[in-house]
Chains A and B, each alone.
Chain A
Amino acid sequence: MTSDRKMAQTTLEQRPAGGHRVSQWALAWRRLKKNKVAIAGLGIVGIFIVMAAFDRLVALYPPKCILGVSPACQLDGRLHSNSPPGLAYPLGTDITGYDVYSEIVYGTRAAFLIGVGATGLTMLIAVVIGLAAGYFGGWMDNLLMRLTEVFLVIPFFLLLLVFLQVTIKLAPANTGSIWLVVFVIGAFSWPGAARIIRGEVLRVREFEFIAASRQIGASSYRILFRHLFPNVLHIIIVLATLQIAASILTEAAVSFLGFGAPGSNTWGQQMYNSANYVEQAWWGTLFPAVFVTLMVMGFNLLGNGLRDALDPRLRE
């Protein structure tokens, strides 16, 4: 008995400082911190969060301010439309006379709204379907997975465009709302995540600690939410991070094609508005695209880093 304890204590002492009460999450954070690329991703996302939170401070002009016309931004009193980048407007102005840089800053909040909103809905559906299919198995698994495959087979993007067009035509009252786009992206993006979560549940379900709980007398509810869910949460976090990037990209594409919410100020919408003048004023289209790319890259780098940090196969 004593030698057993001594042996264990020496191994504990060899662990890095703060070895007391080290949760799996603390270990994952330690691994993430070592990953420079992931930290760069985290940094990019962090900068965007600051930009969205303090957009009035970060931007040069108030939102929807026509340079030279609106009272808040008079400049020299003449309309600055499609002006190339200069001292007063570092990224140029668009056809209306908006400062491209300021409008991009105001678009950050919409990007987060779309990314987090659509991902929230996607993950909610994916988690419910993945957990139910993986845990209950049998006909439930069969039914849910066939349903998932149906959704996977449908060309997602095309469906999205048709759906948006139809809703806009049928319900013109909703056309200005970005929430419709968020809802549609969220409602159609879940199949991949649901399958991955189900697979992970199938793996975790076979561990003896699930059987141990069952033989203690634990209910299905307890097993699902106290044991299975916490043990697949790391996969959900990774999937959600990557899904945020995918949702932002999808919205940008939809809006750029003219199927987005016309009243919204998203980066895709800005690109769409400037696309016709790309020969005179390329900056109006290029710079929103650069910011979409940066944000998507930030979330993807972070997501990949999280996957490496949380992957149970790399866990000791």
Chain B
Amino acid sequence: MTLTPETVLEVKELTKHFPVYERGVILRRKLGDVHAVDEVSFGIRKNETFGLVGESGCGKTTIAKCVLYLEPPTSGKIFFNGKNITEIFKEGKKDLVLALRRQMQYIFQNPYSSLDPRMTVADIIMEPLEVHKHIPRSQWQNRMYELLRMVGLEDYHAERYPHEFSGGQRQRVCIARALAVDPQFIAADEPVASLDVSVRAQILNLLQELQQKLGITYLYISHDLSTVRHICHRVAVMYLGKIVEIAETDELFENPLHPYTVALLSAIPVPDPRKKTHRIILPGEVPSPVNPPPACRFHPRCPRRIDICSKVEPPLLEVRPGHWLACHNPWPSKRLAS
């Protein structure tokens, strides 16, 4: 696949804080903020799969939810095809919002809870058509069957209820629902994390196939580096609400520069038990996002910490073409040659 440099989605200094309140009967006292995402910027190009990786609680999902305004961002701007969509969502003009929702869709992590148990698959897939009414009612049924076939399900599945399906099939239904409005962009939040390993590859291949056929751009969120390597063109690594490194997938896996990325990659299981791996064990726990460490957020656990790390926050800079890094003392290049 050829990458065109045309940027579809641009996120600029996106910040999302969740206030923490003391429990009270009438008056609540604000205790602080969970810094879920702090001034994160990145861009996604057309037809690209952009991976967002990091451990649980680092803010990956929050970014995706902010992009689709399922959570209103605290600050920052998000541009989609050059339009400031956060503004459009915030103003809430119904036709403009619906037009955006038609272009951007979301696939949830858990296919067991993202389908209404009281609706048939046909109703679930036709719901976007009912909401948007972008095609005439007489064609809804045909469109629904077309979508079912597109995601590898059969016509007779339409009359069934979600609880009659396996996890993989449910995720196919979710994908069909997302495709119902012909979106340009889909945010997929760990779409295979809750599936059996045997089914994961099928769903990932389906996503790739649909991308080639329909020209969809993906924001792919995962903590599973092996699936990221399989599906993504570019990858951003997050730690505690910050992006620490962005690079093309091969570049990131072959030549990681941020110590956190290196540690993360060293934790990928290797199929051969005799093969020696130098796994980097990070000391301590991930600090609380309510009170993140000053300057570089990784410095208390970093094996390559130097003085400046606790004093000045490293900016995200392009250290070589297409490779962005936020680190004062990067890992020596090519040292972890796989």
Contact B114–A215 (Cβ < 8 Å): no
CB-based nearest A residue for B156: A20
Contact A208 B108, beta carbon cutoff 8 Å: yes
Binds A, one of B159-167, B305-313, B317-325: B159-167
B110 touches A208 (CB 8 A): yes
Q: Known contacts A4-B202, A214-B70: does B114 contact A209 (CB below 8 Å)?
A: yes
Rounded to whole angstroms, the CA-CA distance of A222 and B174 in the bound complex is: 19
Q: Among A1, A4, A226, A231, find the residue whose CB has the most chain B CB atoms closer than 10 A.
A: A4
Q: How far is the CA of A15 from the CA of B163 in the complex (A)?
A: 12
CB 8 Å contact bits of B90-116 with A (1 = contact, 0 = none): 000000011001100110111001111
Select B131's contact among A19, A24, A217, beta carbons within 8 Å: A217
**A227 to B131, Cβ gap below 8 A?**
no
Q: Does A8 sit at the interface, judged by CB under 8 A? A: yes
Collect the chain A residues with CB atoms within 8 Å of residue B177's CB: 212, 216
Interface residues of A in 1-43 (CB under 8 A from B): 1, 3-5, 7-8, 11-12, 15, 19-24
B159 touches A21 (CB 8 A): yes
**B215 on interface, CB distance cutoff 8 Å:** no
Q: When the two chains form their complex, are residues B70 and A231 in contact, meaning their CB atoms are under 8 A apart?
A: no
Please tell me if B211 contacts chain A, counting CB pairs below 8 Å.
no
A77: interface (CB < 8 Å): no
Beta-carbon nearest neighbor of A25 in chain B: B118
Which residue in B108, B160, B206 is a CB contact (below 8 Å) of A212? Answer: B108
Measured in the bound complex, the distance between the Cα atoms of B118 and A15 in whole Å is 19
Interface pair B114/A316, CB less than 8 Å apart: no
Assess A1 versus B161: contact at CB under 8 Å? Given A208-B114, A215-B105, A231-B116.
Answer: no
Are B202 and A1 in contact (CB-based, < 8 A)?
Answer: yes
Contacts of A11 in B (CB 8 A): 166
B199 & A4 in contact (Cβ 8 Å cutoff): yes
With A21-B160, A217-B102 known to touch, is A211 a contact of B97 (CB < 8 Å)?
no
Contact A21 B116 (CB under 8 A): no
C-alpha spacing A40/B133, complex, angstroms: 49
A216 contacts B165, C-beta separation under 8 Å: no
CB-CB under 8 A for A212 and B106, given A4-B202, A22-B161, A316-B163: yes
**Bound-complex Cα distance A8 to B113 (A):** 18
Residues of B near A23 (CB, < 8 A) are: 118, 161
Cα separation A5 to B153 with both chains bound (whole Å): 8
Given A20-B159, A212-B177, residue A227 in contact with residue B116 (CB < 8 A): yes
What's the Cα separation between A216 and B104 when bound, in Å? 9
CA distance A227 to B116 in the complex (A): 7
Residue of chain B at shortest CB distance from A227: B116
The A/B interface has a contact count, at CB < 8 Å, of 97
B106 partner residues in chain A, CB cutoff 8 A: 211-212, 215
B128 x A216 contact (CB < 8 A): yes
Q: List B154-195 residues whose CB lies under 8 Å from chain A.
A: 159-161, 163-166, 168-169, 174, 177, 181
Q: Chain A: which residue is nearest B69 at the CB level?
A: A215
Q: Is B117 close to A, CB under 8 A?
A: yes
A22 touches B127 (CB 8 A): no
Nearest CB in chain A: distance from B153 CB, A: 8
The verdict on A4 contacting B114 (CB below 8 Å), with A211-B70, A216-B127 known, is: no
CB distance A208 to B132 under 8 Å?
no
Closest to A218 in B: B131
The minimal Cβ–Cβ distance linking B170 to chain A, given in whole angstroms, is 10
CA distance A12 to B165 in the complex (A): 8
Contacts of B97 in A (CB 8 A): 217
Check: A230 CB closer than 8 A to any chain B CB. yes
Task: Please determine whether B120 and A208 come into contact, CB atoms closer than 8 angstroms.
Answer: no
Q: Is B68 an interface residue (CB 8 A)?
A: yes
Contact pattern, A 207-237, Cβ under 8 Å of B = 1, otherwise 0: 1110111111111001000110011000000
- B115-131 CB mask vs A (1 if < 8 Å, else 0) is 11111100000011001
Given that A21-B159, A215-B68 are contacting pairs, would A231 and B202 also be in contact in the complex, using a CB cutoff of 8 Å? no
A-binding residues in B (CB < 8 A): 68, 70, 97-98, 101-102, 105-106, 108-110, 113-120, 127-128, 131-132, 152, 159-161, 163-166, 168-169, 174, 177, 181, 198-199, 202, 205-206
Please name 20 further chain A to chain B contacts, defined as beta carbons within 8 Å, in addition to the given A11-B166, A215-B105, A219-B131, sorted by A numbering.
A1-B206, A4-B166, A4-B169, A8-B166, A20-B159, A23-B118, A207-B114, A208-B108, A208-B113, A209-B116, A211-B108, A212-B108, A212-B177, A213-B127, A215-B101, A216-B128, A218-B131, A226-B127, A230-B116, A230-B119
Enumerate 10 A-B pairs (CB-CB under 8 Å) in ascending A order: A4-B202, A5-B152, A19-B164, A21-B161, A24-B117, A208-B114, A211-B108, A212-B174, A216-B127, A217-B131
